């Protein structure tokens, strides 16, 4: 079992006890909600800045280029300069656009990613909400983002935006099926939909290894389908600049465009975090059988470090996809899902159910 050296529940419990000694229970809950909200806002902003910088550097390495290297040391301040530029840009009103829906769409996209992030177990004892149906909750709220995208495309009164939104809607609804089935495969293995429970079930080994070949197939399908679901290349048909200018957010400017831009990167992090939690043990250390000495050393690495190492490994894989493969056509994209990934996922989950029923997994 993993060490309790870095259990955050001790810290959170002491904060709760300190607040309880100063105010009534109602005010304690309100204060804790405000504190968690502020922490998530800060984390959201910093994570977005870092991921944009990381993608530029990863892209530069893959394409044998330099990447940002002028503004600040190693170009670290480049994304901050871009943020300031976007915040100061004029918000251009679009004639004949639906003003309410046009302004509401970016907030829906941002809100969906915020709600999904709330359920992520970042470390042992460090989770905003721990639902007993955590997997179901994350899939439900993350799919709300497509509503914002469809509203943005339709309300912009632009043919480019509308085509981009329709493409995105078809793409996300299609690939959600494969994402859901690949995660459901691990739910069958672990016997729970609670994310903390899925992490705990991997104390003696990650499901990617314990689940044999079916778990590996589910992981590969999850990577492909989730990359498509968040509109990342080579599946970025919804914002194909060679065809649709910028797709569903063509008519947006300033901070509203920044919301869409930021949400794409945060969704990439959320997808990677779910993959790391479900398939790679989340914050659980890497253990090998009865290697007590090795396992004991692994326990000394903080659980939050394990979580971010695994998450950024999957983030790197998603970035690698984008800068390696050419963009698909829309018919190829939907064919890949409906003719290949979905049938494989269905057969795979039936096979996993049989393996679990027979007790053949580790």
pLDDT of residue 3: 47
Give the C-alpha separation, 362 to 90, whole Å: 58
pLDDT of residue 268: 92
Angle (CA) 94 100 104, round 5°: 100
pLDDT of residue 2: 44
- Please name every residue paired with 123 in a beta bridge, in sequence order, or none if there are none: 126
How would residue 245 be classed by pLDDT, with cut points 50, 70 and 90?
Answer: low
Of the candidates 171, 175, 176, which has an alpha carbon nearest to the alpha carbon of residue 236?
Answer: 171
CB 7 within 8 A of CB 196: no
Give the C-alpha separation, 315 to 269, whole Å: 7
Give the C-alpha separation, 253 to 256, whole Å: 6
CB 70 within 8 A of CB 78: yes
Give tens-digit pLDDT for 149-193: 888 888 888 888 888 888 888 888 889 899 999 999 999 988 889
Of the candidates 183, 214, 180, 194, which has an alpha carbon nearest to the alpha carbon of residue 362?
Answer: 214
Give yes or no for residue 291 having a pLDDT over 80: no
CB 182 within 8 A of CB 218: yes
pLDDT of residue 238: 65
What number is the average pLDDT over the span 133-140? 90
Give tens-digit pLDDT for 30-59: 888 899 989 999 998 899 899 999 999 999
Give the C-alpha separation, 74 to 196, whole Å: 38
What number is the average pLDDT over the span 274-301? 84
CB 105 within 8 A of CB 145: no
pLDDT of residue 281: 86
* CB hemisphere CA count around 175 (13 angstroms): 28
Give yes or no for residue 243 having a pLDDT over 90: no
How would residue 1 be classed by pLDDT, with cut points 50, 70 and 90?
Answer: very low
Give the C-alpha separation, 25 to 27, whole Å: 6
What number is the average pLDDT over the span 221-240? 82
Per-domain residue ranges of the chain: 93-358
Give tens-digit pLDDT for 80-115: 898 888 888 888 878 887 888 888 988 998 999 889
In this prediction, what percent of the chain has a pLDDT beyond 90? 27
Compute the mean pLDDT over every residue in the chain, rounded to the nearest whole number. Answer: 86
Residue 91 CA: distances (Å) to CA of 94, 95, 256 = 9, 13, 8
Q: Where are the alpha helices (H) located in the chain, listed in sequence order? A: 9-20, 25-62, 78-88, 99-117, 134-142, 145-155, 159-190, 195-200, 207-210, 212-229, 241-244, 254-279, 292-299, 303-322, 330-335, 342-358
Give tens-digit pLDDT for 302-358: 888 999 999 999 999 999 988 888 888 888 888 999 999 999 999 999 999 888 888
How would residue 244 be classed by pLDDT, with cut points 50, 70 and 90?
Answer: low
> Cβ contacts of residue 287 below 8 Å, gap of 6+?
2, 203, 204, 205, 294, 295, 298
Give yes or no for residue 135 having a pLDDT over 50: yes
């Amino acid at each position: 079992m993993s060490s309790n050296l870095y259990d955050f529940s001790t810290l959170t419990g002491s904060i709760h006890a300190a607040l309880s000694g100063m105010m009534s229970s109602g005010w304690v809950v309100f204060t804790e909600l405000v504190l968690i909200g502020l922490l998530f806002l800060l984390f959201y902003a910093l994570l977005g800045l870092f991921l944009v910088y990381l993608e530029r550097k990863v892209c530069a390495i893959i394409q044998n280029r330099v990447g940002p290297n002028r503004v600040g040391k190693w170009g670290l301040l480049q994304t901050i300069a871009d943020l300031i530029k976007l915040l100061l840009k004029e918000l251009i009103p679009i004639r004949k656009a639906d003003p309410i829906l046009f302004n509401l769409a970016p907030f829906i996209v941002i809100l969906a990613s915020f709600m999904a992030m709330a359920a992520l177990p970042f470390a042992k004892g460090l989770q905003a909400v721990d639902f007993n149906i955590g997997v179901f909750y994350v899939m439900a709220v993350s799919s709300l983002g497509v509503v914002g995208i469809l509203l943005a495309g339709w309300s912009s009164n632009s043919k480019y935006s509308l085509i981009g939104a329709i493409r995105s809607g078809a793409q996300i609804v299609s690939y959600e099926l494969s994402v859901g089935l690949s995660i459901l495969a691990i739910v069958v293995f672990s016997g729970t939909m609670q994310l903390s429970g899925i992490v705990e079930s991997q104390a003696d080994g990650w499901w990617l290894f314990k689940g044999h070949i079916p778990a590996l197939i589910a992981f590969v399908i999850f990577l492909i389908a989730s990359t498509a679901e968040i509109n990342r290349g080579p599946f970025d048909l919804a914002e194909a600049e060679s065809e649709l200018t910028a797709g569903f957010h063509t008519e947006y400017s300033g901070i509203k465009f920044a919301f869409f831009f930021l949400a794409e990167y945060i969704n990439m992090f959320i997808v990677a975090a779910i993959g790391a939690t479900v398939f790679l043990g989340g914050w659980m250390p890497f253990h090998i059988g009865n290697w007590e000495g090795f396992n004991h050393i692994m326990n000394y690495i903080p659980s939050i470090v394990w979580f971010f190492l695994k998450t950024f490994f999957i983030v790197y894989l998603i970035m690698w996809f984008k800068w390696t493969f050419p963009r698909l056509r829309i018919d190829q994209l939907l064919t890949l899902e409906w003719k290949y990934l979905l049938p494989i996922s269905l057969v795979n989950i039936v096979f996993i159910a049989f393996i679990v029923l027979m007790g053949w997994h580790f």
